Amino acid sequence: MLGHRFAEGKNSLNAIRLVLAAMVIVSHSWWLGGYGPEPQPGGVKLGTWAVIGFFGISGYLITQSRMQARTAGSYARARFLRTYPGLIVCVAVVAFLIAPLTAAVTGKRFAWPDLLMYFATNLSAGMPQVALAGIPGTLDGLPDPMSWNGPLWTLFWEIVCYVLVGVVFGICRPELARLALLGLFILGSTLVFAVDAEWLVSPAPYDWPLVPVLTFLAGSLAYLFRDRIPAGRGALGGSAVLVAVIAGLGFAPSLIHLPLCVLLLAGSLQLPLSAVGSRYDISYGVYIYGWPVQQVLASLGVHNAVPPLIFAGAALLIVAPLAWLSCRYVEGPARRWRRSKDASRRVPELA
């Protein structure tokens, strides 16, 4: 079963998350390079597949983190230090280094107050109606002249999911919390299914946040029911078939969540890639630095000289060392500090 296999400690989730982060960069290449419509397997954009995959894995791991946390405070601290140090540095690097240097090289003008506003508002992790997408003047003339870091909006909704899990397990006993999350998942899936079936009009046709949130809930349920979910090759094959059939029928946004989570989780137990990311997990850095790097390449005109996959490959070559630096000198020290604080808090209880 899934829970037993994960308890053994060997999985390839870090490798899968790295592939998903790379998929996001590949997906964004069509938009940021002005190449036209991007591939949409199963009627869903490649980047959306990657994002919902991220959310599904996070749902499993974050629920595990909340269940294993000694207190709500330790859970909140862990989530904050996993997300915000890397985000703060990334936003600062874009606002005060990448954007002004790119503008200077390409002869564009900008105002320093706009840089400060971009930095301050994006500390909200891309909160809708708060975070400013761009810095006026710095991206003029590009296929997307409005945004320096499009993927940040997903971080806000991921944090919403962190809070949801924290609150539900903070006020409910595990059995009731399981029912609450299951009820939310069924309700949300029903709503999205009605949109897929064209019974309702989508309230937000572009990147509807409810879709990845549902996959997060599916990952959370996979953890809560982990001892009842098979994890062998049969489960892997069955979930792959279900994903393909559901996507082929056009119901991926509403019905893909549970089989996709099982596919990724069970697949991570079959792949021999557990060493990838075991020391330096750069997937988060690849995700948050990918779009800014692609905007720099577009500012230099690279998109006019190469096809989309080469454009994506060039971005990945630049993003990888940036992501490693973020992991090595920002994210890693933050996690180690958190572990040392948690350990120091446990000492009096053990004495």
The span from the CA of 85 to the CA of 332, in Å, is: 10
Report the chain's mean pLDDT, rounded to a whole number: 91
Least confident of 13-27, 144-158, 206-220: 206-220
Residues 257-287 have pLDDT tens digits of 999 999 999 999 999 998 888 889 999 999 9
Smallest CA-to-CA distance from 38 within 257, 308, 235, 282 is with 308
Q: What DSSP designation does 38 have?
A: P
Q: How does DSSP classify residue 9? A: T
Backbone angles phi, psi at 228, to 5 degrees: -115, 0
pLDDT at 39 over 60: yes
**pTM here?**
0.92
Tens digits of residue pLDDT in 212-241: 999 999 999 999 999 999 988 898 999 999
Residue 347's pLDDT is 45
Are the beta carbons of 158 and 301 closer than 8 angstroms? no
C-alpha 156/C-alpha 139 separation (Å) is 24
Q: What is the pLDDT of residues 44-68, one digit of tens each?
A: 899 999 999 999 999 999 999 999 9
Give CA–CA dist 350/114, Å, rounded.
Answer: 51
Per-residue pLDDT, averaged over 117-145, amounts to 94
Task: Provide the pLDDT for residue 255.
Answer: 94
pLDDT over 80 at 203, yes or no: no
Report the alpha-carbon distance of residue 187 to residue 101 in Å, rounded: 47
Instruction: Report how far apart, in Å, the C-alpha atoms of 136 and of each of 108, 140, 147, 174, 247 are.
Output: 10, 8, 9, 48, 39
Domain spans, the chain:
2-345
Whether the predicted pLDDT of 145 surpasses 70 = yes
Average pLDDT over residues 208-215: 91
Render 172-238 in DSSP notation, one character per residue.
S-HHHHHHHHHHHHHHHHHHHHHHHTTSS--S--SS-THHHHHHHHHHHHHHHTGGGS--SHHHHHH
